[in-house]
Amino acid sequence: GCGSCVFFGCTALVATVALLFTFILGPMLAQGMLDEGAVDVESVIFLGVNETACAGSAANICLDAMVAFNVQNPSFLGVKLDEFTVSVYHEGSKFASIGMPDMSLDTGENSVNETVLIVVTDLAAFDRLGSVVVNEPSVAITAKAAGLEGKSWWISLKDLEFDREISIGGFNGFQDYQPRLLNANFRPGQ
Protein backbone atom coordinates (compact mmCIF):
# COMPACT_ATOMS: atom_id res chain seq x y z
CA GLY A 1 0.00 0.00 0.00
CA CYS A 2 0.83 3.57 0.63
CA GLY A 3 3.38 2.76 3.39
CA SER A 4 5.59 0.81 1.01
CA CYS A 5 5.42 3.67 -1.54
CA VAL A 6 6.70 6.09 1.12
CA PHE A 7 9.41 3.62 2.15
CA PHE A 8 10.62 3.11 -1.42
CA GLY A 9 10.39 6.85 -2.11
CA CYS A 10 12.54 7.65 0.96
CA THR A 11 15.00 4.89 0.05
CA ALA A 12 15.31 6.25 -3.50
CA LEU A 13 15.85 9.78 -2.12
CA VAL A 14 18.60 8.61 0.28
CA ALA A 15 20.26 6.60 -2.50
CA THR A 16 20.15 9.61 -4.85
CA VAL A 17 21.69 11.90 -2.22
CA ALA A 18 24.39 9.29 -1.46
CA LEU A 19 25.24 8.94 -5.16
CA LEU A 20 25.26 12.72 -5.61
CA PHE A 21 27.62 13.07 -2.65
CA THR A 22 29.83 10.20 -3.80
CA PHE A 23 30.30 11.25 -7.41
CA ILE A 24 29.97 15.04 -7.33
CA LEU A 25 30.18 16.68 -3.92
CA GLY A 26 32.93 14.48 -2.42
CA PRO A 27 35.50 15.14 -5.16
CA MET A 28 34.52 18.84 -5.19
CA LEU A 29 35.13 19.07 -1.43
CA ALA A 30 38.48 17.29 -1.74
CA GLN A 31 39.60 19.60 -4.57
CA GLY A 32 38.41 22.57 -2.52
CA MET A 33 40.56 21.38 0.38
CA LEU A 34 43.60 21.25 -1.93
CA ASP A 35 42.76 24.70 -3.33
CA GLU A 36 41.96 26.46 -0.05
CA GLY A 37 43.99 24.66 2.61
CA ALA A 38 47.04 26.53 3.91
CA VAL A 39 50.45 24.87 3.54
CA ASP A 40 53.29 26.11 5.77
CA VAL A 41 56.76 24.66 5.34
CA GLU A 42 58.45 24.39 8.73
CA SER A 43 61.79 22.91 7.67
CA VAL A 44 63.72 21.03 5.02
CA ILE A 45 66.77 19.14 6.26
CA PHE A 46 69.01 17.67 3.58
CA LEU A 47 70.32 14.30 4.72
CA GLY A 48 72.68 13.64 1.84
CA VAL A 49 73.04 12.58 -1.76
CA ASN A 50 71.22 9.42 -2.81
CA GLU A 51 73.37 8.07 -5.64
CA THR A 52 71.42 4.83 -6.09
CA ALA A 53 68.10 6.63 -6.72
CA CYS A 54 69.56 8.65 -9.60
CA ALA A 55 71.64 5.88 -11.17
CA GLY A 56 70.96 5.81 -14.90
CA SER A 57 68.59 8.79 -14.86
CA ALA A 58 68.92 12.24 -16.40
CA ALA A 59 68.56 13.91 -12.99
CA ASN A 60 71.35 16.25 -11.93
CA ILE A 61 71.30 15.04 -8.33
CA CYS A 62 69.04 13.13 -5.94
CA LEU A 63 68.84 14.23 -2.31
CA ASP A 64 67.31 12.52 0.69
CA ALA A 65 65.61 15.11 2.87
CA MET A 66 63.34 15.39 5.87
CA VAL A 67 60.49 17.82 5.31
CA ALA A 68 58.19 19.16 7.99
CA PHE A 69 55.10 21.13 7.06
CA ASN A 70 51.61 21.93 8.27
CA VAL A 71 48.51 21.51 6.14
CA GLN A 72 45.22 23.13 7.09
CA ASN A 73 42.23 21.08 5.90
CA PRO A 74 39.27 23.49 5.92
CA SER A 75 36.69 20.88 4.86
CA PHE A 76 34.68 18.72 7.21
CA LEU A 77 36.00 15.55 5.58
CA GLY A 78 39.35 13.93 6.19
CA VAL A 79 41.18 12.67 3.14
CA LYS A 80 43.82 10.00 2.56
CA LEU A 81 46.02 10.77 -0.44
CA ASP A 82 47.93 8.05 -2.27
CA GLU A 83 51.62 8.68 -2.92
CA PHE A 84 52.22 11.40 -5.49
CA THR A 85 54.95 13.51 -7.07
CA VAL A 86 55.21 17.26 -6.56
CA SER A 87 56.97 19.37 -9.18
CA VAL A 88 58.72 22.37 -7.61
CA TYR A 89 59.30 25.68 -9.42
CA HIS A 90 61.18 28.88 -8.61
CA GLU A 91 60.68 31.97 -10.77
CA GLY A 92 58.93 29.85 -13.40
CA SER A 93 61.69 27.24 -13.71
CA LYS A 94 61.02 23.68 -12.63
CA PHE A 95 64.05 22.61 -10.66
CA ALA A 96 62.98 19.47 -8.80
CA SER A 97 60.44 16.74 -8.19
CA ILE A 98 59.61 15.43 -4.74
CA GLY A 99 58.12 11.99 -4.20
CA MET A 100 55.54 12.24 -1.41
CA PRO A 101 54.32 9.14 0.43
CA ASP A 102 50.71 8.32 1.30
CA MET A 103 49.32 10.83 3.77
CA SER A 104 46.17 11.25 5.79
CA LEU A 105 44.86 14.77 6.30
CA ASP A 106 42.23 15.07 8.99
CA THR A 107 39.96 18.07 9.40
CA GLY A 108 41.83 21.08 10.77
CA GLU A 109 45.60 21.37 11.13
CA ASN A 110 47.85 18.45 10.23
CA SER A 111 51.57 18.25 10.94
CA VAL A 112 53.44 16.20 8.36
CA ASN A 113 57.03 15.00 8.88
CA GLU A 114 58.36 12.78 6.13
CA THR A 115 61.65 11.62 4.67
CA VAL A 116 61.45 12.21 0.92
CA LEU A 117 63.55 11.94 -2.21
CA ILE A 118 64.18 15.26 -3.98
CA VAL A 119 65.20 14.75 -7.61
CA VAL A 120 66.93 17.92 -8.83
CA THR A 121 66.37 18.21 -12.58
CA ASP A 122 67.75 21.73 -13.15
CA LEU A 123 70.90 22.32 -11.11
CA ALA A 124 71.29 25.95 -12.28
CA ALA A 125 67.75 26.83 -11.10
CA PHE A 126 68.39 24.95 -7.84
CA ASP A 127 71.58 26.98 -7.32
CA ARG A 128 69.70 30.24 -7.99
CA LEU A 129 67.10 29.22 -5.41
CA GLY A 130 69.87 28.48 -2.90
CA SER A 131 71.33 31.95 -3.42
CA VAL A 132 67.92 33.56 -2.84
CA VAL A 133 67.35 31.46 0.30
CA VAL A 134 70.67 32.67 1.73
CA ASN A 135 70.12 36.35 0.88
CA GLU A 136 66.38 36.96 1.34
CA PRO A 137 64.07 36.72 4.38
CA SER A 138 61.62 34.52 2.46
CA VAL A 139 61.35 32.82 -0.91
CA ALA A 140 58.29 31.95 -2.98
CA ILE A 141 58.24 28.57 -4.68
CA THR A 142 55.42 26.94 -6.59
CA ALA A 143 54.42 23.34 -5.91
CA LYS A 144 52.31 21.48 -8.48
CA ALA A 145 50.91 17.97 -8.59
CA ALA A 146 48.37 16.52 -11.01
CA GLY A 147 46.43 13.28 -11.07
CA LEU A 148 46.29 12.94 -7.28
CA GLU A 149 44.23 10.02 -6.05
CA GLY A 150 42.95 9.02 -2.67
CA LYS A 151 39.91 8.31 -0.59
CA SER A 152 37.62 10.18 1.76
CA TRP A 153 35.40 7.85 3.73
CA TRP A 154 33.97 5.56 1.03
CA ILE A 155 34.50 8.07 -1.78
CA SER A 156 37.28 7.37 -4.29
CA LEU A 157 39.04 10.53 -5.40
CA LYS A 158 40.77 10.78 -8.77
CA ASP A 159 42.41 13.44 -10.93
CA LEU A 160 42.78 16.00 -8.15
CA GLU A 161 45.25 18.83 -8.72
CA PHE A 162 47.49 20.83 -6.41
CA ASP A 163 48.96 24.15 -7.57
CA ARG A 164 50.12 26.44 -4.83
CA GLU A 165 52.65 29.17 -4.20
CA ILE A 166 54.40 28.46 -0.91
CA SER A 167 56.62 30.83 1.02
CA ILE A 168 59.67 29.35 2.69
CA GLY A 169 61.88 31.15 5.18
CA GLY A 170 65.27 32.42 4.08
CA PHE A 171 68.40 33.48 5.97
CA ASN A 172 68.17 37.21 5.06
CA GLY A 173 71.90 37.47 4.41
CA PHE A 174 72.43 36.19 7.96
CA GLN A 175 71.37 39.60 9.34
CA ASP A 176 69.14 37.97 11.94
CA TYR A 177 71.86 35.60 13.09
CA GLN A 178 74.32 37.24 15.41
CA PRO A 179 77.45 35.25 16.23
CA ARG A 180 78.22 34.68 19.87
CA LEU A 181 81.77 35.40 20.86
CA LEU A 182 83.33 33.37 23.57
CA ASN A 183 86.15 35.01 25.46
CA ALA A 184 88.22 32.38 27.15
CA ASN A 185 91.79 32.63 28.28
CA PHE A 186 93.49 29.32 28.72
CA ARG A 187 96.73 29.40 30.66
CA PRO A 188 98.45 26.09 31.01
CA GLY A 189 99.69 25.24 34.49
CA GLN A 190 97.42 27.61 36.42
Tens-place pLDDT, residues 4-48: 777 766 676 666 666 555 556 666 666 666 777 788 888 899 999
Measured in degrees and rounded to the nearest 5, phi and psi for residue 188 equal -60, 145
H or E stretch including 87? strand 84-90
Tens-place pLDDT, residues 97-133: 999 999 998 989 999 999 999 999 999 999 999 999 9
Cα dihedral 52→53→58→64 (10° resolution): -110
CB 29 within 8 A of CB 75: yes
CB 21 within 8 A of CB 72: no
Band of the pLDDT at 77, cuts 50, 70, 90?
confident
